[in-house]
């Protein structure tokens, strides 16, 4: 049984739209990296919440206000260590890559709509390639974020000098990162299916 062009086009369009929505939500929320310090709070009889969650742009206390990260493009780098400079470069990289993927999805969506309306298979191929390239950029951005999180945590431990701190903290990636992964899969699927439709 062969799927009709219009049914497959509609399915690809919906997958592309979902990919875009998931990535927009992931980029705009602050639940990429979670630190649960409830054990540490109980041990130290701390009344303020030490737990926090972070996004791409800021970090927030669970029961407090949010603070923006240092701008990786405008910050003074003369008084920073090499590891701090490297962290800023990594932060600047994924802050550029993930919105760039959104821009590619917008152009891919525009060419996809035009190719569906005009039944132009070459434009459909371009749409698929734009989504595949966007998926590659999303994957790169997510990978750099994970490496950045690991490097930032190691840097924080070296500054604090307390290795036993890990026993009282529960650190995990949050649902914002999961949405970015789902967006990547949907983006890649849209690109592969768009290219295979021809």
User: What contacts 106, CB < 8 A, 6 or more positions away?
Assistant: 20
Residue 75's pLDDT is: 57
How far apart CA 26 and CA 55 sit, in angstroms, is 9
Dihedral of the alpha carbons of 17, 107, 97, 185, in degrees to the nearest 10? 40
How far apart CA 163 and CA 154 sit, in angstroms, is 10
Instruction: Give the tens place of pLDDT for each residue, 13-40.
Output: 899 999 999 999 999 988 888 877 766 6
The label of the residue with tokens 């919105």 reads: 99
9-to-23, 32, 65, 134, 187 alpha-carbon distances in Å: 21, 32, 44, 19, 14
User: What contacts 143, CB < 8 A, 6 or more positions away?
Assistant: none
Instruction: Give the tens place of pLDDT for each residue, 94-141.
Output: 889 999 999 999 999 999 888 878 878 888 889 889 999 999 999 999
Instruction: Give the tens place of pLDDT for each residue, 142-198.
Output: 999 999 888 888 877 776 666 666 666 777 888 999 999 999 999 999 988 866 655
Report helix, strand or coil for 80. Answer: coil
Q: For the stretch 88-124, what's the b/e string if a residue is b when 16 or more beta carbons lie within 10 angstroms of its beta carbon? A: bebbebbbebbbbbbebbeebbebbeebbeeeeeebb
């Amino acid at each position: 049984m062969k799927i009709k062009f219009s049914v497959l086009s509609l399915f690809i369009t919906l997958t592309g739209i979902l990919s875009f929505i998931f990535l927009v939500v992931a980029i705009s929320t602050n639940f990429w990296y979670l630190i649960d310090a409830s054990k540490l709070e109980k041990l130290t009889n701390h009344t303020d919440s030490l737990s926090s969650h972070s996004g791409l742009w800021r970090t927030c206390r669970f029961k407090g206000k949010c603070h923006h990260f240092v701008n990786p493009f405008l910050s003074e780098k003369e008084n920073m260590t090499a590891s701090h400079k490297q962290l800023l470069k990594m932060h600047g990289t994924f802050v550029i890559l993930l919105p760039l993927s959104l821009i590619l999805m917008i152009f891919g969506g525009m060419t996809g709509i035009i190719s569906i309306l005009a039944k132009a298979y070459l434009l459909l191929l371009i749409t698929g390639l734009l989504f595949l390239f966007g998926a590659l950029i999303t994957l790169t951005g997510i990978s750099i974020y994970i490496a950045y999180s690991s490097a930032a945590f190691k840097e924080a431990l070296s500054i604090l000098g307390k290795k036993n701190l890990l026993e009282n903290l529960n650190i995990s990636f949050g649902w914002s990162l999961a949405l970015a992964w789902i967006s990547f899969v949907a983006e890649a699927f849209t690109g592969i299916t768009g290219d295979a439709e021809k």
